Amino acid sequence: MNQSDDLVQKYINEEHFKFYEYSHFKDVKLLGEGEYGKVYRAIFMNNELIVALKSFRSNTMIKEIANELKLHRRVDKHSNIIRLHGVTKIEDKLNQSSTDYMLVLEYADSGTLRSYLRKNFKYLTWNDKINLALQIVSAIKHLHAENIIHCDLHSLNILVHQKCIKLSDFGLSKRQDEAATSSRILV
Ligand SMILES: Nc1ncnc2c1ncn2[C@@H]1O[C@H](COP(=O)(O)OP(=O)(O)OP(=O)(O)O)[C@@H](O)[C@H]1O
């Protein structure tokens, strides 16, 4: 086990994240790719639940994964925040020092808010639009009540599932006390 594995394992143990064997997922299909890794749609075999698996480039991104796990877990009971089910990993049998961790996330069936609005804007009523805005506000209010600042809020980090907002991507988020001491300007 390398240093990166140790750190994620420590967080899994301390924060009581659920760990899922990768073999429990089937029909894994690529959904999209972000700056830090790929996102797949998969079926969790035990209960046929559809999930999203988010991979990271493990060795370089280990601190970000740990940060994302810790902050995300504190807020994911809110219905407008994407649920973090746990973590899985793909072991590279040929390269013992490389392990790819993946977050096991709630699957959002309508993708990002940006693509959802592009497709559906003309069909939405004012009530629908106000409802979406209120759900975003509700998710952000919940983050702030937990002293967390998202730091990367835009329409690609907001997902839509069954017409409901699901805020996602906590990789750059900070606790408010950390943000206050950082030199970065937050908008
Ligand atoms: N939980 C999810 N359910 C359904 N689709 C998802 C989910 N998470 C991500 N996706 C899809 O995968 C794509 C890539 O997501 P990801 O979060 O890696 O990248 P990003 O937000 O575009 O960029 P970055 O992470 O670099 O800021 C998204 O644009 C979205 O279409």
Pairwise CA distance, residues 81 & 164, whole Å: 10
* Residues 165, 187: Cα–Cα separation, whole Å: 21
Handedness of CA 147, 66, 60, 80 (dihedral sign): negative
Nearest CA to ligand 1 atom 16: 34
Q: Can you read off the two tokens belonging to residue 137?
A: 């506000």
- Ramachandran category for residue 111: left, alpha or beta (phi over 0 → left; psi -120 to 50 → alpha): left
Is 19 near ligand 1, meaning CB less than 6 Å away?
A: no
Q: How far is it, in rounded angstroms, from Cα 151 to Cα 170?
A: 8
Provide mean pLDDT across the span 85-102.
Answer: 71
pTM (two decimals): 0.85
Q: Rounded CA gap, 50 and 70, in Å?
A: 23
pLDDT: which is higher, 96 or 34 = 34
Q: Place 178 in a pLDDT band, splitting at 50, 70 and 90.
A: low
Q: Is the pLDDT of residue 163 over 80?
A: yes
- Return the CATH number of 3-186, one of 1.10.510.10, 3.20.20.70, 3.30.230.10, 1.25.40.20: 1.10.510.10
pLDDT digits (tens, 9 = 90+) for 25-69: 999 999 998 777 889 999 998 778 999 999 876 555 666 677 778
Q: Is 128 one of the annotated active-site residues of the chain?
A: no
166 annotated to bind ligand: no
Expressed in angstroms and rounded, the spacing between residue 39 Cα and the centre of ligand 1 is: 6
Q: Is the model's pLDDT at 167 over the cut of 90?
A: yes
CA neighbor of 113 nearest in space, from 65, 70, 152, 168: 168
Mean pLDDT of 80-93: 85
- Lowest mean per-residue pLDDT among 58-67, 129-138, 147-156: 58-67
Which of 6, 92, 128, 152 is an active site residue? 152
What separation, in Å, do the N-terminal and C-terminal C-alpha atoms of the chain show? Answer: 40
Structural domain spans, the chain:
3-186
